[in-house]
Amino acid sequence: MATLRIDGVSRWFGNVVAVNDVTMEFGPGVTGLLGPNGAGKSTLIHMMGGFLPPSSGAVTLDGQPVWRNEGIYRRIGLVPEREAMYDVVNGYDFVLANARLHGLPDPAAAARRAIETVDLVDAQNRPISTYSKGMRQRAKLATALVHDPQVLLLDEPFNGLDPRQRLHLMDLLKRMAAEGRTVIVSSHILEEVEELADRIEVMVSGRHAASGGFREIRRLMTERPHRYTIRSGDDRALAAAIIAERCASAVELVVPNNARVAPGVNADANLQVQATDVGEFVRVLPRIAHQRGIRLYEVSPADESLESVFAYLVSR
């Protein structure tokens, strides 16, 4: 059993703060590290893996600092996001080289075991250049597993995998966790870690934004206020009706300077609506439009980008 602890950790590169005063603890089982691009997930994973020192704060494994601690490196395996591999080498030799780097007593046996674990035996003698994305991912995983680490760190391991390869990797990671390992998987897609992770830690802009089970994180993301852009046959009348129904906290009529304001002919005007209860709003809107004989031309979420969802989590 291994507990990885991040205590008040920050990491900056010049004047870019990649990780900002983060405190988290990871125990046995699978934890999803979720956040949009640039949130600081890779930087955090590299610090957890002992590849990068924190600028301040401490990363420890069972109380021992990770950075520059050879004994600890033996207990951690890291699967990096980047694809760079020695393409001319075959899978077995690639894993064997890592077993030797770790100074294992029987590197050949360790390499064979790791290759079996990731189900790459049939392809082990082929050059890596002939591997599919999923096979490459498995070869990287085998190198990270070759020294039988208690902690496994995987940076965006599902990127580019097809559904079958994804299921295969999920099963493998679940097995690793069932054996008592501490498995940490980063992703920018909530659904990707849904099935796999017992717990999810959310990072946004270098900060720790939320943590909990999949359902809690999903609820936090969907229950936030939503903004919609609406184009209709009579924006003014619709705005008044929406406000009267109490399912929105704000309605703004946006009329570009050069647009005509006559109802029904003003294609550039729109309503910006801040819906308080999304379920209620999408139910009520067609009804009130129909009752008043107002045509709806467009109803689209204005801020559904992943960044805005995450930004909401940080601003709570």
Residues engaged in binding ligand ATP (CB under 6 A): 13, 16, 18, 35, 37-43, 188
Distance of closest approach, residue 192 Cβ to ligand ATP, in angstroms: 12
Q: How many alpha carbons lie under 13 Å from residue 282 in its C-beta half-sphere?
A: 10
Q: What are phi and psi of 25, to 5 degrees?
A: -135, 135
Name the residue type at position 160: G
Distance of closest approach, residue 209 Cβ to ligand ATP, in angstroms: 12
Closest to ligand ATP by CB, 35 or 91: 35
Distance of closest approach, residue 37 Cβ to ligand ATP, in angstroms: 3
Distance of closest approach, residue 274 Cβ to ligand ATP, in angstroms: 29
Closest to ligand ATP by CB, 188 or 208: 188
C-alpha span between 196 and 213 (Å, rounded): 11
The first and second tokens of residue 253, run together, are 């009529």
Closest to ligand ATP by CB, 18 or 209: 18
Distance of closest approach, residue 81 Cβ to ligand ATP, in angstroms: 6
Q: Helices 133-145 and 163-178: crossing angle, nearest 10°?
A: 10
Closest to ligand ATP by CB, 43 or 182: 43
Closest to ligand ATP by CB, 172 or 204: 204
* Alpha helices, H only, 8-132: 41-48, 70-73, 91-101, 107-117
State whether residue 83 is helix, strand or coil: coil
C-alpha span between 138 and 287 (Å, rounded): 53
Distance of closest approach, residue 25 Cβ to ligand ATP, in angstroms: 19
Q: In what order do the strands lie in the sheet with 16-26?
A: 16-26, 4-13, 56-61, 64-65
Closest to ligand ATP by CB, 16 or 244: 16
